[in-house]
């Protein structure tokens, strides 16, 4: 079950820094889910059960299904912004497969092809226009940021949390998840480390593996 007073839904399209924010929330001991690739469009039972079991929600389908939880006063929303041109480049090159085979297609309904860039940019503008309208309605429950400028102080003040510290008493450094990952994903060292990750997480379980990684991140052993 949920551990926190607040529920936090990350309002940012994939490739806007959602993975980094998810790690930051986990460092604050939030139980975070997403992307949830087991979700089938319209499965409200799945959404409601997940919502009660977790504290934080990011990526698919939460960045699209957020309005379902708008009237729940426990819920806070963090809007992640990014320059739309750089978002499109990152989204097209890195986020899933092409055509209709990427995870968010049931919501975006645009074939991922280069010639559809204008349609994706229109979706981008419409998406953020809608979330900003709600942010104006409920300013105390919304925080709008750019992940490159977002710091621990901003997050902790918004969620009324203490700054996370290492075992040596220093404030934890902000993580940089997936930084240049697309450049290293084909290297031999990356493939070896990925194989080790699968073996270790298979032995100790995914949740224990995640907790181990969070501990290493918090204490500056990995970033």
Q: Spell out the domains of the chain, with CATH numbers in brackets.
A: 7-178 (3.40.50.300), 180-223 (no CATH)
pLDDT at 207 over 60: yes
pLDDT tens digit string along 105-157?
A: 999 999 999 999 999 999 999 999 999 999 999 999 999 998 888 899 999 99
Question: Higher pLDDT residue, 132 or 185?
Answer: 132
Is residue 29 within 8 Å of residue 35, measured between CB atoms? no
Neighbours of 118 (CB within 10 A): 10
Question: DSSP state, 37?
Answer: T
Query: What is the 3-state composition of the chain as percent helix, strand, coil, each rounded to the nearest 5?
Result: 50, 10, 40
């Amino acid at each position: 079950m949920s551990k926190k007073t607040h529920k936090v839904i990350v309002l940012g399209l994939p490739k806007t820094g959602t993975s980094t924010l998810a790690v930051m929330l986990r460092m604050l001991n939030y139980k975070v889910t997403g992307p949830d690739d087991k979700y089938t469009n319209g499965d409200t039972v799945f959404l409601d059960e997940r919502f009660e079991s977790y504290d934080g929600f990011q990526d698919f389908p939460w960045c699209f299904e957020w309005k379902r939880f708008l009237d729940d006063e426990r819920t806070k929303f963090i809007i992640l912004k990014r320059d739309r041109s750089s978002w499109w480049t990152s989204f097209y090159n890195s986020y899933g497969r092409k055509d209709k085979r990427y995870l968010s297609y049931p919501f975006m309904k645009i074939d991922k092809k280069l010639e559809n860039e204008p349609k994706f940019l229109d979706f981008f503008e419409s998406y953020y226009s809608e979330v900003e309208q709600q942010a104006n309605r409920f300013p105390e429950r919304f925080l709008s940021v750019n992940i490159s400028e977002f710091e621990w102080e901003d997050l902790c003040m918004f969620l009324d949390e203490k700054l996370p510290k290492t075992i040596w008493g220093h404030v934890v450094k902000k993580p940089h998840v997936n930084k240049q990952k697309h450049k290293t994903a084909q290297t031999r060292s990356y493939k070896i480390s990925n194989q080790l990750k699968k073996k270790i997480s298979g032995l100790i379980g995914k949740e224990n593996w995640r907790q181990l990684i969070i501990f290493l991140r918090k204490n500056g052993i990995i970033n």
